[in-house]
Structures are given as C-alpha cells and as structure tokens.
Chain A
Amino acid sequence: MKLGYFPGCSQTGTAKEYDISLRKVVEKLGASFDEIQDWTCCGATSAHVTNHLLANSLSMRNIALAEQQGLDDIVAPCAACYNRLVLSQHEIQTQPELKREVELVLDKKLGKEIKVMNLIELFIKIGLDKISENKKTELKNLKVACYYGCLLVRPAAITHFDDAEQPTSMESIVELTGAKPVDWNYKVECCGAAHTLARRDIVLDLSKKILDDAKEHGANVMVVACPMCHSNLDMRQRAMKREYPDHKDFPVLYLTELLGLALGMDEKELGINKHTVEFKYNELPADKAAV
C-alpha cells in the first residue's frame, strides 16, 4: 500500500523521532510512503492567525502538489498539519469565492478531493489486524494515558472522526499492543501549544495538570499523536521541575514509538533516546495488575 506523506516542519526538527518511528512502523506493517515533493508549511500557528488567505493557500499548495503527484490520500502525522489541511479543504469547498482567490494565488486549478488522514486514520487504513499479526512483544507492563490534545478530534463537525469530548480511537490501537489504556480526565485538554515560546508559565501549568491527572489515574506512560503536544509534555518537564520541585519525570511516547516497541524494535532504533524524559521498556518495574 502506497500512501502520500506530508511530514510537516516538526517531523524534520523537534519531532525527528516521530518521523523515524512512523516510517519504520509503517514499513513493518507493509505499507510505504510517497513524500510530497517540495512540500511547504501547512499554515499552522502564525499564518492562520494573521492571514486567512495565506494560511489557506499554504495548505492548498501542498494538497495541489499531492494531486499533481497522483496521490489519492495523504498522511499528516502532525495534529496541527492535519487540522489545517482538513479545515482548508472544508473552507475551499464551502466558499467558492475563497476557492477562486486561492486558485489565483497558486496559479492552479484545485481539482479532485484528496483524503487527508491523521495518524489514527492511517493505522485504520493500513488495517488494525496488521498490528496484531506483526506484534513481537506484548507490552503488558504499560498502563497508557492516551492523549489526543485539542486538534486531533476537533472540530468534530469537520473532521468527522471520533468523539470530540470522549474519544476512544487511540485506546483501541493501544489495546492491540497488549498495553492497558487507563480512563482519565484530560485526554482532550489543551497543553498550551504554541504558547510554549511566549508564555511558558501557561504551558507549564497546563502540561503539568495533564501529566498529573494521568499519573493519578494509574498511568505509567503517556501516548500522544502530535509533535507540539510532545514537546510541551516531554521537553518542558525540566522547566516543570524547576517550577514545581516535587514533579517526577513521566515518560511521553508517540503512538508510533509504542507500536514500534510492540513490533519488536528497540528504543534507540525508534529514536526514543532523543526524548528529554528517559524511557526504557525493559527497565520498567513489572506490573502485576496489568498481567
């Protein structure tokens, strides 16, 4: 199965390990990626709050490139990219005037509809049974808090994917690895997102609440599907410790890394050693409750 791939900027920088683990897992599951050639920014963060036309043009440029390349569907592993691309498609479809403007900017006719998939939709497309078939390790020591963040399932009316308030799709994938998802409160709360640069205090407060709630509900690892969330929840833990001295490290993995472990790859191979908070599956205390 060949799938279009839109990495997005994070995948080449702060979330390098997301990119690495995603490519390896997808390969292991028997699919391959066709990266969009000459892809650019999706319009997230700065563009979409400053210039509506620019933001939509950036998104649609990438989609137009995918179309040119003959792709039917593209994977956007970053939740922000996914959200931007899906939203732009929706706006272009519902606003003919905007579509005309974007076509003028891009000097291209926007043609067929391309299905944009987030990480979870990707695995559903590949087939969840493939994960069970290729599983090497039963991750029975893990109790996982699945964190969706704000963008993956919202706005529900446009993404048409899972419940916006009580989503469960990530849990159904995590269960396949033998890990046990926990029921907790903060799966769709905001981590502070791009405030990480300008208002670090907000991010520390929000992210700490998310981590604490996961711990309180018995999780020993958190799984995410968004590079922005990951950088706030993982990378900011050092600052969190300075701000809240009683804070204890809590590992945060990408969903792809968790799957990689279950498919028999090691931490180094998956890039988990690049995280701020160390995670080694074999060094976890064996958990009786989860057996």
Chain B
Amino acid sequence: MKIGVFICHCGENIGRTVDCPRVAKACEWLPGVEVSLDYKYMCSDPGQNMIKDEIKKKKLDAIVVGSCSPHMHEKTFRKAAVDAGINPFLVEIANLREHCSWVHDDIDSATDKAIDLVRMAIEKVKRNQPLTTIEVPVTKRTLVIGGGIAGIQAALDVANAGYEVVLVEKEPSIGGHMSQLSETFPTLDCSQCILTPRMVEVYQHPRIKLMTYSEVEKVEGFIGNFNVTIRKKARHIDEDKCTGCGLCITKCPTKKKAFNSFEENLAYRPAVYVPFPQAVPNIPVIDETVCMYYKNGKCGMCVKVCGREAINFDQKDTMVTEEVGAIIVATGYKLYKIDKKPDDSPIKGYGEYGYGKYKDVVDGLQFERIASASGPTSGEFKRPSDGKEPKKIVFIQCVGSRDESKGFSYCSKICCMYTAKHAMLYKHKVHDGEAYVFYMDIRSGGKMYDEFVRRAIEEDGVKYIRGRVSKISEKDGKYIVKGEDTIAGMPVEIDADMVVLATAMIAQQDASELAQTIGIPYDKYGFYNEAHPKLRPIESTTGGVFLAGACQSPKDIPESVAMASAAAAKALVLFGSDKLEREPVVAYVNESLCAGCFYCKKVCPYGAVEVKELKDRNGVVYKEVAYVNTGLCQGCGTCTATCPSKSVELAGFNNEEIFAQIAAL
C-alpha cells in the first residue's frame, strides 16, 4: 500500500508551534509512506492540486492530511481524493491544529506530538476499507411545533412553496402570545388585526394540517425521515360536528370557575370555552378540572343546548403518527413570574416587590390585556384591585433580566420597546396620568426603534428615571415605589396607583423535555441551541430540525417572523433533492460471531437494531442474530462498545483500525 502524507501549516496557525517540515520529514521513512510533503495552505487550490498530482504521479492508495479539525476540511480533502481517483474513506485527517498547535506552546514537544498524531492516522488509513455513501429518500412534509407567529409564518411559507405541513399547537387555538398583545411597536398597529388574517390563512390552507390542543409525544427517525407521534388531547367536543356557534359557552353554568389564562388570569372563564373570540379553530374545549359533569355526573347543559350533538364527554386522548422530513421548532417563550420560588431553585423571585401579592403590580402581558380593546376592561385603563383608573403608573424594566442574583443574566431584548409602548398607550388614553419608567439602559436597536422611545419621552411626556427599584410597598391603596435616580444621585419615592413589571422572557416550562423528545441541545436557561451562533443560527445540531422564534432566545415579532421564514427556507432546501446522501459510518454485524444476546438492541438510542432469523437450507431457523437497519443507524458506536463478542463493528471505525491507532502511539 502506498500512502501519501500532507502536512499543512495553516498559515501560522499550525506552523507557529509545530515544525511542519520536521513532521513531514519524520514521516517520510515510515513503512508504507510513499511521499511526505508540507505546504502553507493545504486547503487552497494549489494545495489540493498538490495532493491530486501526487496521488496520480505516485499511484497512491490512501492519504493522510495533517491539518485542522476534520469538522473543517475533511470534505475538501475527500473531494480532492475522489477527483484523483481514490475512495473518499481512504483519507484520514490528523488534527494538528485544534488538538495540537492551538493548545501547546513548546515547539519541540508540540512537533513530537504532531508526528505521533500523523503516525496514528497512517496506521488507521492502512486498515481503512473503501466505503460507499448511503442514499436515503426524503419525505417532503414538514412538522411545525408551535402555532405562534413564528410557527404560523413558517407553516405558511412551506405550504405556499407547495409542500405539506403539519402544524401542532398545544393550546386550543393558534395565535400564541401575539394574539394577546394590544398594539405592536414601533408602529402601534393593532396586533390582532395583523395576526388574525394569517391565522385564518393557516386554517383554510389546503396543504396545512392544523392540530390544536395537541402535543408532540415522540420523535423517531432522522433527517428526511422522521416519524412523529402526536397526542391529540381530548377536547370533549367533536371537531367535525361543532360549528362554533358558542351556545354551550353562553349556557355553561360554571361562569367563573377558572382563571382565563388568555387574559393572564385577570378574568374568569366557564368550563367550556374558546380562549378568545377570534380563536382558530373556533371550536371550544371542555376543561375537565372544573366541569360539573366530571365532578358529579350531572349538569350536561352543553349537551342539551348543542344542536349538533357535538359534545362528547367520553372522548379520550388519541395518538396520531405523522411522517415528515423536516421539523421546525417554534415553541416560543413565557414570562417570568416574581413569586417566591422553592428554596432549591437557582432563581429567587422578588420579595422586595412583594412576591406578587399586590394585585396592582402586574406584568407586561397583563398590562397588554388591560390596554387591549378586547381585554377584560375593554381597553379602558382600570387597575385590577378596585377597577379605578390609575393616575400614576410606574414601569420597571429588567425584572428578572440582567439580574444574576435574582433571575437571569441575559437581556430579554424586547422590554425596553414594549415598556415605551405601554407608557405611550397609557398616556394616549389617560391624558392627565403620569407614567414613570425605571430603566438600566435603553436598548432600542432596530429600525425606527430608538425614534419610538424618543417619542415616548419627548412627545408623550413619559418620565424616564435611570435606576433600580429597591422596594414596592402598599400604603392606603397606593404603591410606594422606592428607587434610585442614578443620574441625579438621589433616592426617589413615587406613590403609584399601579406598577408594571417588564419581567424576563424565559423558556417554556417544558422546553427541555421537548428538546429531549426531539433530540436537540438547549442552554442552561432552556433556550434551544443553534448549530453555530453566526453561520448556522437557524439550524439545530440535529439534521433536519430547525428553530424559529423565541424558543431560541428572546425575540420580538419581526425577528421571529424573519427567523421563521429562514427556517422554512432551510426545510425547502432539504426538499430540493429526492435523495439524501449519508455517510456510510454505520454499524454492521458479523453474523457468524453474533450470539444473539441483543444487548446492542437494548442500548441502541435510535432503535436501529432488529432481530434477524438465520435459516438453514430447509428453511428452519437455526439462529437469531442482530441486524442493523442502516437507514436508522447514526453511527454512534454504542452497540460496538456493548457487544460482548465484538461481533458488531462500526464501518470506518472498526476495532482493528482503532487498536492499530492506539498501538502506534
């Protein structure tokens, strides 16, 4: 076997700490090595040409490249090898940059280590088998998880490009947080008015299968071939029969049984309800926890009034499976609450703001509902405790955000803007009212954003105070807000009628569980991780799973929409070809050695190991052995490590190759 060794200087990246010519020279004399060269940039065109020429000239069988991490340029060098006529899996990379030059400073010992790394790669490549890539088909359907504005946008984009979409939403209606907002910054246009046409479009789209009140239970498979199990929670109302007339809701005797979560607990709802009048689909849900029928088996008023016999108390959750090729995760965020957290919780809650015991200390979304024309106060500013119009409102920014001791260290990004909007909306309706904003900095980067904040200050007379609030206490129906004006260097005290907290945007409560179900990484806050913060911000590290909106990090509407369209584009890129190429690094079983213990089947995280029956010539089964479904196998190697008889091997990384590498050290 003739092997070529090529050592790259990577400019100075490797060359500064590794004596590349010495490495090349040392490898020249190793058994099997036909040629050993070094070059400043092996990945450049001249570098690649050098490899190709040497392969042809010296009739090489395999090559070893000592360069950067295989994550960077393995593809480049494999391509060069293929061009010169050798199998791409007869190329080995010795990582001389990340594993050597970047982490050492002594030239002599770094060079010695580099030589060892190359020697190991040579021993491996000698034993490498030529492999051929596996082709898998692509299911050209997309699953979108989450029906907020990001999910809606992604679903519409994919569907409008001509592909089918399954949109799963856990709430009874799509619309997400955007449907709760009163107006949107920086244009102050009505949130519902711009959102509801999109919701209707989703509902009517022939290629979108909408599944509300449903949750993703299980995800199996891999890029292009996911198999998703969805739990359709029991609505107790037949979706096909219901016309959405709403008679059951108006006649339900449990008028004020449960907090209305759409109104952020500022109002009540009956046991049978739609979250809001423009809900899509306009089909109610019966809440088992408060419905009288489930308590004592009586009532049944809704059954009596429903002309369509749509009420079905016996309905159970059902499981639906869908086959899709791409998944777009758009599960959004929730707002941080200031209530007392358990002692072992890393976040603490705000005792100085009363742990949420003051009724007129509300959060941003509650204020949106109070300001909204469709909200519990019909858009009139009335405070929750006594319904009086507040004449003085204090807004506090960064509650839970940028606060490591009590909440989270990150900036929630949108609060500066929505607080300015809140103060503005209030001033527009209550002309003699006073609005104060406590802030740390104003972060209003974005088109027409800073102008918007200036407008609140200059035209609407909102008073901005730079400083933190140390305490909110109640006195005679007023809220005494004690804080500091750090510009004046003075303590300030404001007797407010109402306080609005811009609390942090945090990950959904079950964000980490869903991430584990799908198999995508998430950060310590529960936000989903992108594959690369700059160059791959839309993709998760799992192939075929894309991210959109605030589930990745706090985002406003335009950013969420942009990200959703980008995620849709990524799914469409995937659907651009009929077959996907996959690396042939999969496990295979030596059937004559396999004893059929099936430990490998137990440990396989992808369910790729199956039972195969071996039959003799009479068709009688004489042995059961393991069989690896190469479509499902991801090449993780867990089975090879587990197998007691060493009869499962990983192509491209078999025991012989690995042991030879170790022995060379």
Interface residues of A (CB under 8 A from B): 163-166, 185-186, 189, 213, 216
Contacts and interface: CB of A to CB of B under 8 A. Distances in A.
Contact of A185 (B340, B350, B355, B473): B473
B351 A185 contact: no
Contacts of B473: 185-186, 213
A163 B351 contact: yes
A164 B351 CA distance: 8
B474 A165 contact: no
A213 B474 CA distance: 10
21 contacts: A163-B340, A163-B351, A164-B351, A165-B350, A165-B351, A165-B352, A165-B355, A166-B340, A166-B351, A166-B354, A166-B355, A185-B471, A185-B473, A185-B474, A185-B475, A185-B480, A186-B473, A189-B471, A213-B473, A213-B475, A216-B475
Contacts of B474: 185
Interface string B344-381: 00000011101100000000000000000000000000
Contacts of B355: 165-166
B404 to A, nearest CB: 12
Contacts of B351: 163-166
Contacts of B350: 165
Contacts of A164: 351
Contacts, number: 21
Contacts of B340: 163, 166
Chain B interface residue bracket vs A: 10 to 19
Interface string B287-313: 000000000000000000000000000
3 nearest CB pairs, A to B: A165-B351, A185-B473, A166-B351
Contacts of A213: 473, 475
Contacts of A163: 340, 351
A189 B352 CA distance: 11
Nearest to B348: A156
A166 B314 CA distance: 47
A148 to B, nearest CB: 12
Nearest to B354: A166
A186 B350 CA distance: 16
B350 to A, nearest CB: 7
B437 to A, nearest CB: 23
Most chain B Cβ neighbours within 10 Å, of A165, A166, A216: A165
Contacts of B354: 166
A199 to B, nearest CB: 14
A66 B350 CA distance: 38
Interface string B473-495: 11100001000000000000000
Interface string B624-664: 00000000000000000000000000000000000000000
Contacts of A189: 471
Interface in B206-251: none
A231 B460 CA distance: 48
Nearest to B351: A165
Contacts of B471: 185, 189
